[in-house]
Structure formats: structure tokens, C-alpha cells
Amino acid sequence: MLRSALISVFSKDGLEPIIQRLHQLGVQLYSTGGTQSYIEKLGIPVTSVESLTGYPSILDGRVKTLHPAVFGGLLARREEGHLAQLEQFNIPQIDCVIVDLYPFEDTVASTHVENDIIEKIDIGGVSLIRAAAKNFKDVSVVASKDEYKLFLDMLDAHGTELTEEDRRELARRAFKVTSNYDIAIFNWFNEGTTDISFKYSIHRSDILRYGENPHQSGVFFGDFDQIFDKLNGKAISYNNLVDIDAAVQLMREFQVGKPCFAILKHTNACGVARRHTLLEAWQAALACDATSAFGGIFVCNSTVDLATAQEINKLFYEVLIAPDFAPDALELLQKKEQRILLKIKTFEIKKRNFRSLLNGVVEQDADLKTETEADLRTVTTRQPTPKEVGELIFAVKCVKHLKSNGIALVKERQLIGMGCGQPSRVDALRQAIAKAKAFGFDLNGAVMASDAFFPFPDCVEIAHEAGITAVIQPGGSVKDQDSVDACNKFDMAMVMTGFRHFRH
């Protein structure tokens, strides 16, 4: 039975209804510091923790509740032996703890001042939560403001007679809170050390319709709303999420500058173009591969206007991502209720990524390298022209986002041919050339980008035959010179970057 409750919270939002309800139920309230003052201002009787412990809050508030008079009342089993000890030492039973911890993660995100961060490491609050949760058979615990409403619903349903099932659920949530809190603190202390540990904790989760295929279940762990405002459409699926991630990574390369549009299918860019207007960029991106665009993911770096929306609306697509939508464009696009419309808030992505493999996890730095003109090292007799340099940089941004082996062919800031996911680089190039020709592109004067080095000169020879005049690649093969010699033979320009972009 719930006869007493200790309340010590950081966030008071949503707390008042709980306090009022506990008072109505005749529950004795204990508190300290700012929470005690808050309860007193509500006109609700409250007993200070100091009156239990016989000690004031000390050390600038670092020690308030850490005392046997508090933890004895929390941890005592409601059985004869433990209750006799409580009576012996005049310790009251505490049947409920309501805590909201210092916002450690928010503090880390907002400041680099070490003392400010350290002072937001909650000690007493975590201890209260763990003690109450351990003794869930007799004690209820509310471990964060996110549980305020749930607890109030329990009080409304059961009064002071919460069920053991309710208390166990509150305890489960409590350990979820404390485990996340500890991991956040560890990761802050561990940053920059040589200790290699894989510790992540993500509170928010969304159950997906299914996984990659209908017979697989799927869950997304993360805060989707931190990156996007979802303006329209059906529930986002596992495959949508994978493609959306790929689209954001690609457009991150083109987010600054003239309007750019990209079309992706199964994470691969099948259309990318930059033009003076967004409508022109859309039309050029679609022309790259109008067949693959059906059912694709569309992403751009500019506000979608009505003229562009009218053209996009002629084609079936899964997701459209943009920094914003003009009101008349949004009104038009929302008429197709199943189409997912996402307003992106940021193109920034995590600096580390990981995936499950075998019986473990691999983690690595994200590939955040975006080549600039300063990264290009000309290795051929002929220097690339200024126009070719711009095209080569555009091309290497595109090829970075194709599955390996990947080849991108670019002309006039447009991806006119792409080959990806091939076991041979020669196959990837032939695929790219075939796609370019299938959609009526003239390859004469185009440039080629490769995600990795050329082990043999065959790709240069094939590219020359197709009309390609300049090549960008990372280099690194023991036979680099063979490809350089082939370029010199055909008066082609080749630049090396020193950065490989495998994508598996």
C-alpha cells in the first residue's frame, strides 16, 4: 500500500497533478530543496528529508538523501525482520520515489565546461531510483518525467493499491533510465581515451511495419523527429529508412550551392544534377534514368516550388525530402496521401557508424571526406581543364554514394551513367556506359570517377573508346602507372585524390 512518497525532481513539468492526487489519497510526502519549495507553494503539506536524516543538505547540495534513514525506508522488505529494524532505528517506510535526474546529456550537448558537466552527474537521484526499483515488490518508482503520466494513470486506476505488475513495470523503466544515464556518463569520460568499448543507449524506438522483407520484424531506435518534420504520407518502413539515410548522406555533399536534385533507388544514386533552378535540376536528374526513378527516393537542397512539385507529382515515388516546401507546392503534393514528404532540418550525420556482423558489431568513422580541388593531384601529362576539374569533383561526390565496385560518368553537372555493385570494375564501367547510351546521352567530353583504384589499364581504354576525356580515382595500385600511361597515350587527364570510397 502506498502511504508515503519521496519526491526529488529536476523537471517539475507535469508534476503538479501527481502531487495533488497523492495528497487527495492521504499519502505522506517527503522532499528536499527546490522540489520541497515547489510542493509548499502548491499549499500541500510536505516533510523535509532533513527532518528524517537529522542532517541538512551539505556540500553544495551534493549530499541530501544519502542516509540510512532514507534508504532503509526504501530497501526494507515489508516483512517482520526488516520492519522490526525500521522500528528499532525509528526509520519510516517510504513506499514510493519520484525522481527526475539532472540533465547530463543536455548539459554535454550545450557546453564544454567540465565543471558544469560534472555537477550534472546525479548521485542521489540514481541511488534512490535503484533502491526503489530493487524493492519493487513493495515500493513504486517513477524514474523520469516521461513516466509522470503513466504513474498518474496508475493512481487514478488503483489509488494507493498499485499492483505488483504496475510496480514491476515502473522498475523496468527505472533501470532503463539509469542504464542510459550511466552509458552517457561513461562515453563522456571515455572520449579521447584508448579504451575501445562499444556502449550505446537509445531511449526512443519505433516499431516498423516489418523489416527488410515482410517476414522480418523491425524496429528503429532513434529520434527521427530530430532530423525531419514528417508532413505527409504512410508509416515509414525499414527500407524507407535505409534509403532516406543514403539520400541524406548524398545530398550532404551538394547542400550548398545551386539547386541540386538526386534520385535514389536501393540506396544507389541513379540520378543527380545541379542546375540554375530546382525544376531544371529535377528534369536533369530524372533524365539520368527515368526507369529507375519510379518508386524512388527524391532529395533536393532547395525549397520545392509549385512548378517543380507539378512535375514530380506525375511520377510515383516513395519519399520526397527537401529543406522546405512552398505552401501551394505542399498543398498539391499532400493530395497523394501515401507519399512521404519530409522537411529536413539538418544534413549533418553521425561521425561514427556501426553495423552487426557475425556474433558482434563493427564500428568505424563515417566517410565524411568531401574532395575539393586542393585534393586533386594530376598524374598525367595533360592537366584537366577548369571545366573538367568541376565535373570531376561532381563525379567523385556521386561515385562515393554507389555500392562498390562503383563508376560514375558525369557531363555538365549531371550523372549520365552509373555502374554499381559489380564484382569487377570493368563490369561497373560497362554498365555505366550502357545506361548512358540507353538514355540517349553523348559521352564525348564526359568524365569518369571510380570509387577505388584501377588495377589494370583496361578501364581507361574502355573509357577512351566511349569518348571520356578525364578520370578521377584515389590511386594506390602497384600498377597505377599502367593506367597513367594509357591516359597519356589517349591524351586524357587523370587526377588522384588519395581517398578511396568503398561502399558495401
For residues 97 and 316, what is the distance between their CA atoms, to the nearest angstrom? 54
Mention every residue, 6+ apart, whose C-beta is less than 8 A from residue 43: none
Active-site residue among 134, 176, 369, 489?
134
Based on its alpha-carbon atoms, the radius of gyration of the chain, rounded to whole angstroms, reads 31
Distance of CA 467 to the CA centre of its chain: 42
For residues 197 and 298, what is the distance between their CA atoms, to the nearest angstrom? 37
Hey, what long-range contacts does 10-14 have (CB within 8 A, 24 or more apart)? 10/100, 10/101, 10/102, 10/103, 10/125, 11/100, 11/145, 12/38, 13/145, 14/145, 14/148, 14/149
Active-site residue among 266, 369, 437, 489?
266
CA distances from 182 to 67, 117, 339 (A): 22, 14, 40
First to last CA, the chain: 57
Which parts of 386-424 fold into alpha helices (H)?
386-399
Q: Catalytic site residue 266?
A: yes
Nearest to 232 by CA among 331, 149, 151: 331
Q: Catalytic site residue 387?
A: no
- What is the four-CA torsion angle of 252, 354, 352, 226, rounded to 10 degrees? 60
- Residue 97 pairs with which residues in a beta bridge? 6, 141
Give me the active site residues, please: 134, 266
